Structure 1
Amino acid sequence: MSTPQTGHPAPDFTCVTDGRGELTLSELRGNYVVLYFYPKDDTPGCTKEACGFNENLQEFKNLNAEIIGVSKDNIAKHDKFKEKYGLNFVLISDEDGTVCEKYGTWVEKNMYGRKYMGIERATFLINPDGTIAKIWRKVKVKGHVDEVKSEIENLKKAA
């Protein structure tokens, strides 16, 4: 599967979400969508990233942007993660890896010389028309939320 590129349509999907809901990406057209992939619920980097988006949630809503987190954790883990940190945005359970494959975020990783497959921390900013506006790969958590917010502000100014 090829990795999506900036300017191309964002691959559509329907997934189970926290709270046992369901989300289809194309149903969010008309809004910016911040689709961020993270390795695992309730780990230090993933928690910091999720809390960063959550703390800025109203500002993202004011920019007409939806935040969606994606990991391979199951719904029960997502529900616990959201409750523990008071997260108020959607988390998608991609247990079978379909969404990760579509977005090219299921990659070989290397830690202390050990190679394994895992989710690359990445963010896809999707335009209201469903095309990809910007892609961040191998995201460093510090400053990332502000960078995404600034990108949406710049896109809105240019529109």
Structure 2
Amino acid sequence: MSRRTCIGLLLAIAIALFNLNLAAPAHALGGSLPPLDEPAPEFTLPTNTGDGEISLSDYRGQWVVVYFYPKDFTSGCTLEARRFQQDLPQYFARNAQILGISADDVDSHAEFCDSEGLKFPLLADVDGRVSKAYGSWLNFFSMRHSFIVDPEGILRERFVGVIPAVHSQEVLARLDELQGTAS
């Protein structure tokens, strides 16, 4: 078994064990979740796109879905990314951008995007600083949390206990509610 496969397997086990304890208080799950209806924690991180860095403030005037995930190339993270990619035209139709964040470096993100055909940015939070600010850090990786930030930079929704197979549709439905366009 390769080192990457071993690490992925151990990470999957850790995530599964973590997901069994979703009722635990937020401070036990990587820190405090940022409050709703207040400015979202600002960040600037390097991206896989070769464009240097991306800041949350770069997207003022758009809705932003910031999703944290544990590791490139793992089964749940791949499924979640594929669903966001599949639904990307629906996000664009809602004036929304997807930003994925994990502790993987930009080279890993670039490989992952190439492998999966992802057309949205993945940001490298290698020291967990941004994940911590969003209450999404667990020792050495980002937990599977997502946040919706409105065009003014205000945090409007947060998702914990994410199920990768249905999460993108869940986010789209909540985005419709927030925009007052529920279908």
What's the TM-score once normalised by structure 2's chain length? 0.78
Which one of the candidate residues 136, 144, 157 is aligned to 2:167? 144
One-letter amino acid of the structure 1 residue matched with residue 163 of structure 2: K
Q: Which has the higher strand share?
A: 1
Gap regions ≥5 residues in structure 2: 1-30
Q: Which has the higher helix share?
A: 2
Cα deviation for residue 79 of structure 1 reads 0.4
Which one of the candidate residues 26, 35, 39 is aligned to 1:5? 35
Q: Secondary structure at the match of 2:168?
A: helix
Q: Secondary structure at the match of 1:61?
A: helix
Deviates more, 1:139-148 or 1:49-58: 139-148
Once residues 34 and 81 of structure 1 are traced to their aligned partners in structure 2, the CA distance between those partners, rounded to angstroms, is 19
**Structure 1 match to 2:49:** 19
Q: Secondary structure at the match of 2:157?
A: strand
Cα deviation for residue 127 of structure 1 reads 0.8
Q: Secondary structure at the match of 1:99?
A: helix
* Contact 2:62–2:97, Cα closer than 8 Å, also in 1: yes
Q: Deviations over 1:61-114 (max 9, x none)?
A: 000000000000011100000000100000000011111111110136xxxxxx
Once residues 32 and 25 of structure 1 are traced to their aligned partners in structure 2, the CA distance between those partners, rounded to angstroms, is 10
Once residues 103 and 33 of structure 1 are traced to their aligned partners in structure 2, the CA distance between those partners, rounded to angstroms, is 14
Identity %: 38
Gap regions ≥5 residues in structure 1: 109-116
Q: How does 1:1-159 map to 2 (within 5 A)?
A: 2-21=32-51, 22-107=53-138, 117-157=140-180
Report the count of equivalent residues.
150
Once residues 55 and 92 of structure 1 are traced to their aligned partners in structure 2, the CA distance between those partners, rounded to angstroms, is 19
